[in-house]
Amino acid sequence: MSMRRTYRASVFACFYFGVLVFIASVWFFMRGTPEIRIWGAVILIAFGLLGLPFVRAKVAVDDEGITQQILRRRSVRWPEVLSWERVGHPDSDGPETITIKTRAGSFTLNHNCIYGKRLDDIESELRSRIAQERCSEPPPP
């Protein structure tokens, strides 16, 4: 039985585009002067282009491993995962994240896709997969 879960940044996307709609409505009502008209259009287009890659961000977990896509795609297979760490910032309101250490380096899962209960789901999946991989490895000589 194959398992595949994909986590997307849907809450971030709704918030981001809500802010853009607010800025667009303010710009629409204040566009009387040519200076505001030009800068408003430039700001809207810039924010739209800057946010597009982060709105399409996703983290997929399947039987092969974990795949994360933000600006570029990063995949790691389960046997390549050495360890992971749940990182929180107790002195700030910043979100907790999971940093995965692999043989090729480490990377942090996107906190716009993995948050709250999703963070717990990914951590339990990592725990079970790593335990499963370690049990299937032959003992050292």
Q: What is the pLDDT of residues 19-47, one digit of tens each?
A: 888 887 777 777 666 676 777 778 888 88
Lowest mean pLDDT among 41-45, 83-87, 91-95: 91-95
pTM exceeds 0.75, yes or no: no
- 49, 84 contact by CB (below 8 A): no
Question: What is the pairing mode between strands 81-87 and 73-77?
Answer: unpaired
- For residue 135, give both structure tokens: 């049990």
Q: Report the percentage of the chain scoring pLDDT > 90.
A: 6
For residue 1, is pLDDT > 50? no
